[in-house]
């Protein structure tokens, strides 16, 4: 089994750092992977495969960090989009497709009476918070520690350029800790506008966590009793667990729900859906952006959502995710490693049970990547409709080699 | 106020202690301290550092001591900062005034810090010299990060939310080495290799790579992508260091 080289990626990076701060920014920066064992730049993609600028081919388990739910260049979608491209994209006014998509989404998402559109997850979650603040006339927001809600100042995990004042109204508690949350609310009586959670907790660098029934029921009651708006940040989970929204899958009732990623198979669009009582407050938020109303992503979203429904894609994602997880656990055992997989099967996070610092994960993923399987050592993975049992079989063959290298380096557990 | 306190702390506990290494490396420095058998404490309200000169060697303790031979007292951190940034400030030698003649030779000794931190390209062509300069910078960074991390409100919030752990910093292949232990919201720096479990590594591919980063000729993001810096293990620990390291220059004189 050959090992990949990344010469062209490195050459490109050397050019990039001269004209782009850091060469690549945000969570695509090489430092978030294992530099030297991962490509830095991509060339093209098809199905669940992509090729880097050196021509190396990968089976991809990141799906562009979530958006690709049907597969890259999914033919039925791209054929439809070819028709839309002929009509144009950015106009002075929204197109009819905006109304059609909003009608479709409010019919699809459990509890949604209206919807607005942005470009990124961060837009949608921040809009939701603004609606909550407008409605409640309160300042504070409570989020779970380690949760990612975007790159706006109130929630960014970054430090650069952020004033402490911009984060002073953002409070945090431990996910699933209902008592801790209640205490925080009581310490900030009548000051909390919103509680924001992701349907399941998926921080980077550590295990994912499913919500307990008591936790979700407790938040609902707490929000109702205290006049707090319950926001579900469904950017990462959305449409991978349940087409009605992940709150439908886990069984809770948020008043505002943010979607993005999988809703248009890679076309840039996000959305915030809400209940009737918040609609009037939503009209008072000045929500706009240069490309917020472009029509192509809306058309892509409508086609994607219909395809997800027709092809029963979520069932496929659960099935493929489960096969992959079982295969990795079994291979790990064969190499004397206890593998821990957390999160729902369509969005799993893998680590070695005895290695919280992720040394083993970094080596495992690096060796897999150098042999054409694109796992991530620090972030949850994503499955898509394009993944087949054959792809997973090939991936496990490479994982076997990577586990062997981990065993040689670290020994059995 | 916060800024002065941090800058003054860096001067006393990160910059001044570099003299210990300089006095064992630099021939002129060795000559200056020859015959000095005394302790010199520099301090301002609440904080201090003491230099022990004995038998041609210097040992530094990053704390105040009882009854030093000479005690130089700055009435405020701002006074330390003024001196650090080149303004003339006369500290109050409230103890050991009779040995003050030593102080006239202390200034040229202190100037050595600047000389090595601003070493010219010719000087660092020699690997021995480059290793020495890198070891000074590493020391400055380890202890400077502690000052910023524990005293700056914004940085303190980062540190207090960081789980306990040890970050080992290695310059490959032969050192220097250093580490930062974060424990219960405090930072404990040290030279060499941590003997227990290390949670994260930050490794420089060469002395030159470390020198480039330490002197800000290279930023961390670029260095990682170019494989001049390798990070592994608990990456959030490395990110904490990077965040605080980025704040350090604003508290330092432009050496």
**pLDDT per residue as tens digits for the range B41-51:** 988 888 899 99
Q: Examine the domain organization and report whether B78 and B37 are in the same domain.
A: yes
Scan for tokens 């303790």, then name that residue: B61
Q: How confident is the model at residue B244 (pLDDT cuts 50, 70, 90)?
A: confident
Q: Which of A17, A29, A358 sits opposite B233 (nearest CB)?
A: A358
When pLDDT is averaged across residues B192-205 and rounded to a whole number, the result is: 97
- DSSP, collapsed to helix, strand or coil, labels residue A32 as helix
CB atoms within 10 A of CB A25: 10
Residue B35 contacts residue B101 (beta carbons within 8 Å): no
Give the closest residue to B16 by CA, choosing from B77, B61, B54: B61
Measured N-to-C along each axis, helices A295-310 and A313-334 cross at an angle, to the nearest 10 degrees, of 70
Q: How far apart are CA B229 and CA B214, in angstroms?
A: 12
Provide the pLDDT for residue B100: 58
Q: Which of A14, A29, A362 sits opposite B226 (nearest CB)?
A: A14
A164 touches chain B (CB under 8 A): yes
Provide the pLDDT for residue B153: 81
Q: How far apart are CA A229 and CA A278, in angstroms?
A: 9
Polymer length of chain B: 255
Q: Examine the domain organization and report whether B163 and B146 are in the same domain.
A: yes
Residue A266 contacts residue A172 (beta carbons within 8 Å): no
Where, residue-wise, is CATH 3.90.1150.10 in chain A?
7-62+312-410
When pLDDT is averaged across residues B133-144 and rounded to a whole number, the result is: 96
Is residue B122 over pLDDT 70? yes
Which of B225, B231, B236, B246 best probes binding to A when mutated, by most A CB atoms within 10 angstroms?
B225
Provide the pLDDT for residue B22: 94
Q: Examine the domain organization and report whether B144 and B108 are in the same domain.
A: no
B137 token code pair: 């910078």
Q: Which of B224, B236, B246 sits opposite A35 (nearest CB)?
A: B224
A411 token code pair: 């020994």
Is residue B99 over pLDDT 70? no
The b-or-e profile of B12-39 (16+ CB within 10 A means b, else e) is bbbbbbbbbbbbebbeebeebbeebebb
Are A13 and B153 within 8 A, CB to CB?
no
Query: What pTM, to 2 d.p., does this model score?
Result: 0.93
Is residue B91 over pLDDT 60? yes
Instruction: Give the CATH class of A75-310.
Output: alpha beta
Does domain A7-62+312-410 fall under CATH 3.90.1150.10? My reply is yes
- DSSP, collapsed to helix, strand or coil, labels residue A120 as coil
Collect all residues of chain B within an 8 Å Cβ-Cβ radius of residue A362.
232-233
Q: Examine the domain organization and report whether B219 and B173 are in the same domain.
A: yes
Collect all residues of chain A within an 8 Å Cβ-Cβ radius of residue B199.
357
A160 touches chain B (CB under 8 A): yes
The last residue of a domain, from among B117, B142, B173? B117
Give the closest residue to A384 by CA, choosing from A64, A1, A15, A12: A64
When pLDDT is averaged across residues B181-198 and rounded to a whole number, the result is: 94
CB atoms within 10 A of CB A269: 28
Residue A283 contacts residue A242 (beta carbons within 8 Å): no
Q: What is the DSSP letter of B98?
A: G
Bridge partners of residue A192, in order along the sequence: A140
Q: How far apart are CA A47 and CA A53, in angstroms?
A: 18
A406 token code pair: 């981990």
Q: How confident is the model at residue B72 (pLDDT cuts 50, 70, 90)?
A: confident
Q: Which of A13, A357, A378 sits opposite B200 (nearest CB)?
A: A357
Question: Which alpha helices (H) appear in chain B, and where do they start and end?
Answer: 2-10, 18-25, 27-33, 77-84, 103-117, 127-151, 153-160, 207-214, 220-225, 235-245
Provide the pLDDT for residue B92: 64
Are B225 and A21 within 8 A, CB to CB?
no
Are A23 and B225 within 8 A, CB to CB?
yes
Domain count, chain B: 2
Residue of chain B nearest A18, judged by CA positions: B222
Are A40 and B231 within 8 A, CB to CB?
no
Residue A281 contacts residue A135 (beta carbons within 8 Å): yes
Q: Examine the domain organization and report whether B14 and B74 are in the same domain.
A: yes
Are B227 and A160 within 8 A, CB to CB?
no
Q: How far apart are CA B9 and CA B3, in angstroms?
A: 10
Cβ contacts below 8 Å, chain A against chain B, sum to 62
Q: Examine the domain organization and report whether B160 and B206 are in the same domain.
A: yes
C-alpha dist (Å) from residue A216 to A253, A254, A257, A352, B162: 9, 10, 15, 29, 27
Bridge partners of residue A350, in order along the sequence: A341
Residue of chain B nearest A366, judged by CA positions: B232
Q: How confident is the model at residue B157 (pLDDT cuts 50, 70, 90)?
A: confident
Provide the pLDDT for residue B98: 54
When pLDDT is averaged across residues B162-174 and rounded to a whole number, the result is: 94
Provide the pLDDT for residue A377: 98
B80 token code pair: 């330390």
Which residues does A203 contact at the CB level (< 8 Å), separation at least 6? Answer: A145, A146, A147, A148
Number of helical H runs and strand E runs in chain B: 10, 10
Per cent of chain B over pLDDT 70 is 91
* A226-240, B70-84, B117-131 — most confident range: A226-240
Bridge partners of residue A195, in order along the sequence: A142, A230
Are B233 and A22 within 8 A, CB to CB?
no
Q: How confident is the model at residue B85 (pLDDT cuts 50, 70, 90)?
A: low
Residue B226 contacts residue A17 (beta carbons within 8 Å): yes
Q: Examine the domain organization and report whether B79 and B166 are in the same domain.
A: no
Q: Which residues of B touch A (CB under 8 A)?
A: 153-154, 157-158, 165, 199-200, 219-222, 224-227, 230-236, 243, 246
* pLDDT higher at B78 or A102: A102
Q: Examine the domain organization and report whether B91 and B134 are in the same domain.
A: no
Q: How confident is the model at residue B80 (pLDDT cuts 50, 70, 90)?
A: confident
Q: Examine the domain organization and report whether B41 and B146 are in the same domain.
A: no
Are B232 and A35 within 8 A, CB to CB?
no
Q: What is the CATH number of the domain that holds B178?
A: 3.30.1050.10
Is residue B105 over pLDDT 90? no
Which of B221, B237, B246, B247 best probes binding to A when mutated, by most A CB atoms within 10 angstroms?
B221
Q: Which of A32, A205, A359 sits opposite B232 (nearest CB)?
A: A359
Provide the pLDDT for residue B86: 66
Which of A31, A161, A362 best probes binding to B when mutated, by most B CB atoms within 10 angstroms?
A31
Collect all residues of chain B within an 8 Å Cβ-Cβ radius of residue A18.
none
A358 touches chain B (CB under 8 A): yes
Exposed/middle/buried for A185, CB within 10 Å: 0-12, 13-18, 19+?
A: buried
Are B221 and A22 within 8 A, CB to CB?
yes
Residue B225 contacts residue A29 (beta carbons within 8 Å): yes
Residue of chain B nearest A19, judged by CA positions: B222
Residue B93 contacts residue B70 (beta carbons within 8 Å): yes
Where, residue-wise, is CATH 3.40.640.10 in chain A?
75-310
Assign residue A58 a region: left if phi > 0, alpha if psi is -120 to 50, beta otherwise? beta
Are B225 and A164 within 8 A, CB to CB?
no
Tell me the shortest Cα–Cα distance from B169 to chain A, in angstroms. 16
Q: What is the DSSP letter of B75?
A: S
Q: Examine the domain organization and report whether B184 and B209 are in the same domain.
A: yes
**pLDDT under 70 in chain A at which residues?**
none
Residue of chain A nearest B237, judged by CA positions: A357
Instruction: Dump pLDDT digits (tens) for A211-233.
Output: 999 999 999 999 999 999 999 99
Q: How far apart are CA A172 and CA A256, in angstroms?
A: 19
Provide the pLDDT for residue A316: 98
Provide the pLDDT for residue B93: 59
End-to-end CA distance of chain A: 26
Structural domain boundaries enclosing B171:
123-251
Which of B160, B201, B222 best probes binding to A when mutated, by most A CB atoms within 10 angstroms?
B222
- DSSP, collapsed to helix, strand or coil, labels residue A347 as coil
A91 token code pair: 């106009």
Q: How far apart are CA A179 and CA A185, in angstroms?
A: 10
Q: What is the DSSP letter of B13?
A: I
Polymer length of chain A: 413
Collect all residues of chain A within an 8 Å Cβ-Cβ radius of residue B222.
17, 22-23
Q: How confident is the model at residue B241 (pLDDT cuts 50, 70, 90)?
A: confident
- E-strand stretches of A84-148: 114-118, 140-144
The last residue of a domain, from among B83, B98, B117? B117
The overall average pLDDT reported for chain B is 87
When pLDDT is averaged across residues B63-67 and rounded to a whole number, the result is: 86
The b-or-e profile of A109-143 (16+ CB within 10 A means b, else e) is bebbebbbbbbbbbbbbbbbbbbbbbbbebebbbb
Q: Examine the domain organization and report whether B86 and B197 are in the same domain.
A: no
The last residue of a domain, from among B117, B136, B151? B117
Which of A153, A159, A204, A207 best probes binding to B when mutated, by most B CB atoms within 10 angstroms?
A159
Q: Examine the domain organization and report whether B225 and B144 are in the same domain.
A: yes
A288 token code pair: 């706009």
Q: Percentages helix, strand, coil for chain A, rounded to the nearest 5?
A: 45, 15, 40
């Amino acid at each position: 089994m050959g090992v990949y080289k990344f010469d062209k990626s490195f050459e490109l990076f050397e050019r990039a750092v001269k004209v782009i701060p850091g060469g690549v920014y945000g969570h695509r920066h090489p430092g978030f992977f294992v530099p030297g064992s991962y490509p830095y730049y991509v060339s093209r993609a098809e199905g669940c495969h992509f090729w880097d600028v050196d021509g190396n081919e990968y089976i991809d388990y990141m799906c562009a960090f979530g958006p690709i739910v049907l597969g890259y260049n999914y033919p039925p979608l791209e054929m439809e989009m070819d028709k839309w491209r002929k009509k144009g994209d950015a106009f002075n006014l929204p197109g009819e497709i905006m109304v059609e998509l909003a009608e479709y989404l409010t019919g699809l998402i459990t509890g949604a009476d209206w919807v607005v559109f942005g470009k990124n997850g961060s837009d949608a979650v921040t809009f939701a918070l603004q609606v909550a603040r407008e409605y409640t006339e309160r300042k504070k927001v409570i989020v779970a520690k380690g949760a990612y809600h975007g790159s706006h100042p109130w929630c960014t995990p970054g430090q650069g350029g952020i004033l402490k004042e911009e984060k002073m109204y953002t409070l945090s508690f431990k996910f699933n800790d209902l008592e801790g949350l209640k205490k925080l609310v009581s310490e900030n009586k009548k000051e909390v506008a919103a509680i924001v959670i992701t349907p399941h907790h998926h921080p980077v660098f550590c295990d994912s966590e499913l919500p307990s029934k008591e936790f979700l029921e407790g938040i609902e009651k707490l929000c109702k009793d205290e006049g707090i708006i319950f926001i579900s940040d469904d950017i990462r989970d959305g449409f991978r667990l349940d087409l009605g929204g992940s709150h439908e899958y886990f069984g809770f009732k948020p008043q505002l729900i943010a979607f993005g990623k999988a809703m248009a198979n890679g076309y840039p669009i996000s959305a915030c859906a809400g209940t009737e009582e918040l609609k009037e407050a939503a009209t008072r938020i000045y929500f706009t952006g240069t490309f917020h109303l472009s029509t192509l992503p809306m058309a892509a979203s409508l086609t994607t959502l219909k395809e997800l429904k027709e092809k029963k894609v979520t069932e496929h994602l659960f099935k493929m995710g489960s096969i992959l997880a079982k295969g990795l656990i079994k291979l790990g055992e064969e190499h004397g490693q206890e593998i821990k997989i957390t999160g729902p099967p369509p969005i799993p996070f893998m680590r070695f049970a005895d290695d919280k610092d992720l040394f083993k994960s970094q080596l495992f993923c690096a060796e897999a990547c150098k042999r054409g399987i694109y796992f991530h050592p620090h972030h949850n993975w994503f499955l898509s409709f394009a993944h087949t049992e054959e792809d997973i079989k090939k991936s496990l063959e490479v994982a076997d080699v990577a586990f062997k290298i981990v065993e040689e380096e670290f020994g059995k557990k | 106020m916060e800024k002065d306190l941090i800058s003054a702390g860096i001067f006393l506990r990160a910059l001044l202690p570099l003299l210990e290494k300089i006095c064992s490396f630099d021939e002129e420095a060795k000559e200056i301290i020859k015959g000095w058998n005394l302790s010199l404490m520099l301090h301002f309200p609440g904080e201090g550092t003491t230099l022990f000169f004995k038998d041609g060697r210097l040992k530094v303790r990053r704390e105040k001591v009882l009854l030093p031979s000479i005690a130089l007292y700055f009435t405020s951190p701002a006074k330390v900062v003024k001196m650090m940034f080149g303004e003339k400030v006369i500290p109050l030698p409230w103890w050991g005034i009779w040995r003050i003649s030593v102080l006239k030779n202390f200034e040229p000794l202190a100037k050595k810090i600047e000389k090595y931190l601003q070493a010219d390209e010719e000087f660092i062509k020699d690997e021995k010299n480059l290793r020495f300069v890198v070891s000074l910078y590493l020391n400055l960074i380890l202890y400077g990060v502690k000052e910023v991390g524990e005293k700056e409100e914004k940085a303190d919030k980062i540190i207090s939310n960081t789980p306990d752990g040890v970050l080992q910093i290695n310059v490959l292949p032969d050192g220097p080495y250093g580490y930062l232990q974060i424990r219960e919201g405090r930072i404990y720096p040290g030279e060499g290799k941590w003997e227990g479990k290390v949670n994260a590594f930050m490794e420089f591919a060469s002395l030159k790579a470390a020198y480039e980063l330490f002197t800000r000729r290279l930023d961390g993001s670029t260095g990682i992508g170019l494989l001049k810096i390798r990070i592994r293990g608990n990456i959030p620990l490395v990110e904490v260091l990077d965040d605080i390291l980025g704040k350090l220059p604003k508290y330092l004189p432009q050496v």
